[in-house]
Structure 1
Amino acid sequence: PCLPTSKWAADIVVVAMYFVLVLAVGFFAMWKANRGTVSGYFLAGRSMNWMMVGASLFVSNIGSEHFIGLAGSGAASGFAVGAWEFNAILLLQLLGWVFIPVYIHSGVYTMPEYLSKRFGGKRLKFFFASLTLLLYIFTKLSVDLYSGALFIQESLGWNLYVSIILLITMTALLTITGGLVAVIYTDTLQAFLIISGALCLMAISLVKVGGLEGLCTKYMNASPNVTAIELENNITYSNSCHVHPKPDSFKILRGPLDKDLPWPAFLLGQTPASIWYWCADQVIVQRVLAARNIAHAKGSTLMAGVLKVLPMFIIVIPGMISRVLFADELACIGPEHCMQVCNSKAGCTNTAYPRLVMNVMPVGLRGLMMAVMLAALMSDLDSIFNSASTIFTLDIYKMVRHQASSKELMVVGRMFVVLIVAISIAWVPFVVEMQGGQMFLYIQEVSDYLTPPIAALFLLGVLWKRCNETGAFWGGIVGFLLGAVRLILAFVYREPDCDTTDDRPAFIKDVHFMYVAAVLFWVSGLVTVVVSLCTDPPSKEQIVIQTGVKCLEWFCGYNKNLEEPDSPFGDEDRNVTEMLKEPPKTKIILNLGLLLVCALGMFLFVYFSL
C-alpha cells in the first residue's frame, strides 16, 4: 500500500527535480546539436568524447530490467548472474579493437548496412534489420516496460498504464527532438545518478546484514518461515519451491548440468552468442560510432568495461541482501503463496530490488533511488527508440525510397519513434502475462534462441575474407530456423509450477538454453563456411570493406594503405583516415589499458568461481 503523502513529500520533490534536470540537459543538447543532418541526428555528428560515450554505453545496457532482473536472479540463485557482467568486460574490448575499426572504415551508420556492404545484395540487410526490430520489441521494450511498471507499482502504487505512458512520452520526446546527442548527454547525467544512488543503497544494506561476511552466512540461511506462513494462510504448501538457497550460490561458473549457469554452455554458447549484443547490436554500436575518432571509441569501451565491474556489487549483492531481509516474501514457498505475495506463480524474486529500496533507504535518498530507477528505464528506452528509428529509416525505408532526401529520412525517423511508442504501450498487457520467475534469464533465453547465428555471421564476415553472401545467408537462415523452432517449443512446453511434476520432453527439460545457443552458433558457422567454400568468392570491393582479417593490425594501429570507402551521405563525415588515425603515445596507452581491463575481467571470473 502507498504511504501517506506527507512521508513522500521529500521523495517526490527529488524525483521532480530529477525530471527537470534531465529535461534541461536534453534541451541543452538539442540546442547545441547539429540535428539538421543525418550524421548529426543519428550519430551525433561523430563528435562525442570517450567519457560521454563510455557513460552512455553503460547506462544503455543497465536499464531497469537489470535492476529488477539481476537483483531478482541474485536473490534466487546468488552470484551466477554476475557472469554476464564480467563477460561484457572482455566483449566490449572485442568491439573496440576488432569490430569498430571495420565499421568506421566501411563508412556505415547501421549494422544491417554493414552486412549489405560486406556481402552485397539486400536480403541479408532486410533479414537482419527485421530480426533486430523484433528482438527490440520482445526482449528489450517488453521487459523494460514490465520492469519499470513493477517498480512503480511496488513504490508509488500509481496506475500502471498512466505511469508507463508518462515515462515513454518523456523519453520519446527527447529522442524525437534531439537525436543521439540528446540521448548521450542525458545518459551521461543518468550514469552519475545511477552509480551514486546504487552505491548508497549497497552501503546501507551491507551495514544492515553485517557486511560481506554477514551476507555469506545469512544468505545461506535465508529461508522462509514455512510453518508461520502455512498457519497464517491455512494452506499447506510444498516445501520444494524457492525455500533454500543453492549450495553453490557464491560461485558464478557451476557444474555442467547446473540449471542456472553450466560453465561449458556459458563458455561455448553464451559467450559467442553475446557477441551479437556487444559487437553487432545497433544500440551499443551506434554509441561508439558517435565517438570523434578511433582513440575515443577505444577509450569508451575501456571505460564501459571498468564500469561493468559495478553491477555485481551494486545490483546482484543488494538482491541477495533483500532475500536475507525479506525471506518470507521473496522466497515464497509455493505457487499459491507466490500469487498472494506478488501475483506471480513463478516466484517473487523480481521484487527484490524495489522492496529493498522502499524499506531500507531513508526519506530523500529513497527519492534518489526512485529517480535512479526511472533514469535506468528512460536511458534504456531512449537508446532503443533512437536505434530502432535508425535501423528502420536507413535500412528498410531507404531501401524502398532510394532517392529520399536527408530531411525526409529525419522526418521518417522521428515518426517511426511515435509508431514504436504506440506498439510498446499496446504490448504492455502481454508483458505482464509473459513475465517469469527470473526476468534476466528470460531475456537471455529468448536472445540465445535467435542471436547466435547473427553473431557467427558477423564474426566470420569481419575475420574471414572468403566468407561470401550465399554462405552468410544460408548459415543465418539455417540457424534462425533451428532457433525459432526451439523458441516455439519452449513456449509450447512451458515450465510447470515448481510443486508439480515436470513431464516435458527431455530435450526441452534437460538441455539448458545456453547449450542450444552453442549448437546454433557452431552449426550456423559451419554452414556458412561450407557454403562459402562451395560457391564463388566475394568481390575485391567486399573484401576491402571487411578489413578486419588481421586482428594484430588493429591492435598495433590502422594501416594507412587501406582504401577509403565513399561516405554514404556525401561530405557530412570526415574522411576515414582521420577517423582511424591514432597518435603513437595514445596507441600505447590504449593498448596498455586493454591488457589491464582484460586481466581484470579474467581475474574476476576466476575469483568468483573458486
Structure 2
Amino acid sequence: MENIHNFLHTIDFVVVLAYLVILIGIGYWVSFVKKSKKDENLFLAGHSLGWGSIGFTMWGTNVGPSMLIASASIGYTTGIVAGNFSWLAFIFIFLLATVFAPRYLNAKVQTLPEFMGRRFGESTRKILAWYSLVTILISWLALTLFAGGILVGQILDLPLWGSVIILVIIAAFFTIAGGLKAIAITNIFQMLLLIIVSLILTVVGVYKAGGLVTIYESTPTEFWNLFLPVDDPNYPWIALVLGYPVMGVWFWCTDQSMVQSVLGAKSLKQGQMGTNFTGWLKILDVALFIIPGITCLVLFPNLTNPDEAYMTMVTRLLPAGMVGLVMAVLIAALVSTIDSALNSLSTVFTMDIYLKKYNPNASQKEIVKIGRIVTVVGAVAAIFLTLAIDSIKGLKLFDVFQAVLGFIAPPMSVIFLFGVLWKKSTTLAANFVLSGGTIISLGIGIVYFITKEQVDWPHFLLLSFYIFVFLSFCMWAISFFGRKKATDNNQLLDNIPSKTSKSVWISWILLIIVMIGLYIFFNNN
C-alpha cells in the first residue's frame, strides 16, 4: 500500500499552514494587544465551572489526538475490546464524584499534592512533586510526542526522531509567539471540530464498507466482544477486571490534569454532575475512535502498520482540503498538549522544588530563568524518552500507552485510596509507597519492556495489579505496625459533606443502567 504522504495535496499543506498561522496570530493578539486588568486567570477559574465545562474539559483532556490514533490502531487489530478503557472508566468517574470530590472540595485545595501534603505532611508533598515530574515527563510528554511523532512522520514521510524534533520546535515557537494562550482559547472549538470530523469519518467509512451489518460479517466474531477468554493473548477479561481498576483510580481520581476542573467547580453538585457528563461522553469513544479502525480493516485489510489506520481513513475517504483541516486540528491539539505539559513540568519544579528547597528568596528574574531552563531540559529529556519508547518491540501503539500508564499508576492509587479511606494510614507508609513503590513499579516496568521478547511475562495489566497488591500490603503493614506522627492529619477526612442531591443520583443510576446494557449487548457474540 502506498505511503500516506503520497495521498496528500498541496491544498492540505496550505490549510495546515494557514490554521497554525491564524492560531499564532490569535495568540499574539491575546498576549500583547488585548490586555485587560484581569490578565491572570485564577488557577481554578475562581470556582466558577459548571457541569458542562467540567465534563467537556475532562473528556477533552482524555481523548486527545494521541489516544485517537492509538484507539484506531487497536480497533484495526483487536476490535472493540479496547473500548473497556473508555467504558469501564464510568466506575472510577463515579468513585471520583461520590468519594474523592467531596473530600477534595471540602479541603479547599488547589492541587492534589497539596491535599496529600495536608493529609500526611510537607515531606509527602515534596515526594509527590517529584513523582508528578516523572509522570508528566512520561505520560503527558513522552507518550504524546511518541504518538505525535508517528502522525507527523506519516504526513511528512519522516523518521520518528525527525518528527519529534519538529513537534518540539513548533511547541517552543508557539510559546514564544503566545500560541499557548491561543490554543487554550480555541481548545474546546478544536475538540468539537475533532468530534465532528471523526463522526463524518465514521459515517462515510461505514457507508463505503456497505453498512454496519457488512462490517460485522466481514470481521472476526470476537471483534465485537468486550470481554475475551482468559487465554486471549491480547486482553483476557481477567487482566482487564483486575488491572484496569489500578489505572482507573490513578487516572480519574488522583491525576491533577484530570481532576483540576472538578476542583474548580461552582459547587459539589456541579462537580458531581460534570463527572457524570464525562461518563456519558466516554460512551462516544468507541463509535468515534475505535469503529473507524475496525472499518479500516474492512476497507483496507493489507495495512503493514496498524498505527496508520486513522490517517489512512482520513486520506482515502475525505476530500483534499478537509484532510488538511484534520491534520491541522490534530497537530495544533498535539502542540497544545506538549506546551501544557512543558509548562506544568516547569511550574512543579520551580515552585514546589526549587523555591521550597534550594532558593526560597529567588527573585522573579531568577524564577523565570529557572523555568526556562527546566522547559528546555524537559523537552530534551522527553525526546530521548520518546525514542526509548519507540525501541519497545512486540507492543502495538495502544498497548504501549496502557502498559506505560499501568506501571505509573500503582503507587498513586495506593496512597490516595488508603489516605482517603483509612484514617490509620501514616506518613511513613505514604512516603515509602511514593518513593520506594515508584522505584519498584517503574523498575519492573523497565525490565518488562527490555526483556518482553525473551521472557514470558504475565499480562502488563496483571503485573500492575500484582504491584498494587504488594504496595497495598506495605501501606497497611507500615501504618499498622509503625508509629503515628504529628503530621498524620486524619482530621482532614472529617466533616465530609455526605448529602448528594437526588438529581445527581438519578443521573448516575441512568448512566449505570446504560453501561450495563452496553456490556450485555457486546458480550453475546
CA displacement 1:407-432 (0-9 Å, x = unmatched): 97677556643442343345554444
Cross-structure match for 1:529: 476
After TM superposition, give the deviation of residue 178 of structure 1 in Å: 7.1
SS at 1:515's partner residue?
helix
What is the TM-score with the length of structure 2 in the denominator? 0.87
Equivalent AA in structure 1 for residue 518 of structure 2: L
Q: Deviations over 1:4-35 (max 9, x none)?
A: 89x72432343344335544665676557877
1:56–1:191 CA contact under 8 A, matched in 2: no
Change (3 A) 1:173 1:392: farther
Q: For residues 104-158 of structure 1, give each alpha carbon's deviation from its aligned partner in whole angstroms, at most 9, with x where no partner exists.
A: 3334333323222111141x33333223322333333222222222222323436
Alignment partner of 1:266 is 2:240:
yes
- Equivalent position of 1:94 in the other structure: 95
Q: CA deviation at 1:451?
A: 1.6
**2:412 equivalent among 435, 445, 454:** 454
Partner Cα separation in structure 2 for residue 4 and residue 188 of structure 1: 31
Q: How far 1:454 moved relative to its partner?
A: 1.5
The answer on 1:69 being equivalent to 2:27 is no
Distance verdict in 2 for CA 1:604–1:439, change over 3 Å = same
Match of 1:583 in 2: none
How far the C-alpha of 1:160 sits from its partner, in A, is 6.0
Give the distance between the partners of 1:598 and 1:277, measured in 2 at CA. Answer: 20
1:308-365, Cα deviation, whole Å (9 max, x unpaired): 11121111111111122222224xxxxxxxxxxxxxxxxx211111122111212232
1:187 counterpart residue number? 187
Mapping of residues 497-512 of structure 1, within 5 Å: 504-506=454-456, 508=457, 511-512=458-459
Equivalent pair of 1:273/1:452 in contact (CA under 8 Å): yes
Contact 2:429 2:475 in 1 (8 A): yes
| Residue aligning to 2:489 | 542
SS of match in other structure, 1:373: helix
Show the 5 A alignment for 1:75-114.
75-114=76-115
Structure 1 residues 125, 436: closer, same or farther in 2, change over 3 A?
farther
Show CA shifts across 1:266-285 (max 9, x none).
Answer: 22222133211111112212
Segment of structure 1 superposing worse, 88-97 or 165-174: 165-174
Name which of 295, 303, 324 aligns with 1:329: 303
User: Percent same amino acid among aligned pairs?
Assistant: 29
**Residues 277-296 of structure 1 mapped to structure 2, 5 A cutoff:** 277-296=251-270
Question: Is the aligned partner of 1:441 residue 2:399?
Answer: yes
TM-superposed CA distance for 1:251, in Å, is 0.9
The residue identity in structure 1 corresponding to 2:260 is Q
1:357 corresponds to which residue? Answer: 314
Name the counterpart of 1:236. none
Residues 103 and 16 (structure 1), Cα distance of their counterparts in 2 relative to 1, 3 Å cut: same
* Cα pair 1:462 1:547 within 8 Å, conserved: no
Q: Report how far residue 79 of structure 1 moved.
A: 1.0
Match of 2:137 in 1: 137
| Alpha-carbon distance between aligned partners in 2 of 1:477 and 1:162, rounded to the nearest angstrom | 35
Query: CA separation in 2, counterparts of 1:89 and 1:179?
Result: 34
Q: Secondary structure at the match of 1:594?
A: helix
State the distance in 2 between where 1:182 and 1:292 align. 25
For structure 1, which runs of at least 5 residues remain unmatched after alignment? 221-246, 331-347, 496-503, 558-586
Tell me how large the CA RMSD over aligned residues is.
3.3
Which residue in 2 is equivalent to 1:600?
Answer: 514
Matched residues in 1 for 2:295 and 2:314: separation? 11
Judged with a 3 Å threshold, the aligned counterparts in structure 2 of structure 1 residues 159 and 350 are, in CA distance, closer, same or farther, namely: closer
Q: What does residue 306 of structure 1 align with?
A: 280
Whole-angstrom CA distance in 1 between matches of 2:57 and 2:288:
18
SS in 1 for 2:489: helix
CA distance in 2, matches of 1:494, 1:426: 21
Q: What CA distance in whole angstroms lies between the structure 2 residues aligned with 1:127 and 1:452?
A: 15
Q: Which moved more, 1:349-358 or 1:40-49?
A: 40-49
Question: After the TM superposition, which of the residue ranges 22-31 and 103-112 deviates more from structure 2?
Answer: 22-31
DSSP 3-state at the match of 1:257: coil
Does residue 442 of structure 2 align to residue 484 of structure 1?
yes
User: What is the identity, as a one-letter code, of the residue corresponding to 1:530?
Assistant: A
Q: 2:217 is matched with which residue?
A: 217
Q: 1:477 to 1:145 in 2, by over 3 A?
A: closer
The equivalent of 2:328 in structure 1 is 371
Provide the rounded CA distance (Å) in 2 between the counterparts of 1:317 and 1:356: 11
Query: How far 1:179 moved relative to its partner?
Result: 11
Matched AA of 2:201: L
Q: Distance in 1 between matches of 2:114 and 2:193?
A: 35
Residue 83 of structure 1 and its aligned partner are, at CA, apart by: 0.3
What's the secondary structure of 1:249's corresponding residue? Answer: helix
Aligned partner of 1:388 in structure 2 is 345
CA distance in 1, matches of 2:141, 2:345: 11
Query: For 2:102 and 2:333, how far apart are their aligned partners in 1?
Result: 29
Structure 2 CA distance for partners of 1:524 and 1:323, relative to 1, 3 Å? same
Q: Is the Cα contact below 8 Å between 1:63 and 1:376 reproduced in 2?
A: yes
* 8 Å contact kept, 1:126–1:395: yes
Does the CA-based 8 Å contact 1:43-1:109 persist in structure 2? yes
* CA distance in structure 2 between the aligned counterparts of 1:391 and 1:67, rounded to whole angstroms: 28
CA–CA distance in structure 1, aligned partners of residues 364 and 492 of structure 2? 24
CA contact (8 A) 1:190 1:376 kept: yes
> 1:84, CA displacement in angstroms?
0.3
CA, structure 1 residues 168+59, in 2 after alignment: closer, same or farther (shift >3 Å)? farther
Deviations 1:284-305 (A, max 9, x none): 1233334444344333322322
Query: 2:204 — aligned with what?
Result: 204
Matching residue's letter, 1:454: M
Q: How many residues align?
A: 519
Maintained 8 Å contact 1:110/1:390: no
Considering only CA atoms, is the larger Rg found in Structure 1 or Structure 2?
A: 1
Instruction: Give distance in 2, aligned partners of 1:49 and 1:608.
Output: 33
Q: Once the 2 structures are TM-superposed, how far is the Cα of residue 546 of structure 1 from its aligned partner? A: 3.2
1:359-393 alpha-carbon deviations (Å, 9 max, x no partner): 12122322232133224423432442343334323
- Alpha-carbon separation, structure 1, partners of 2:284 and 2:429: 40
The 8 Å contact of residues 78 and 223 in structure 2, kept in 1 or not, is answered as: yes
Q: Is the 8 A contact 2:146 2:164 kept in 1?
A: no
After the TM superposition, which of the residue ranges 161-170 and 132-141 deviates more from structure 2? 161-170
- Residue 148 of structure 2 corresponds to 148
SS in 1 for 2:223: coil
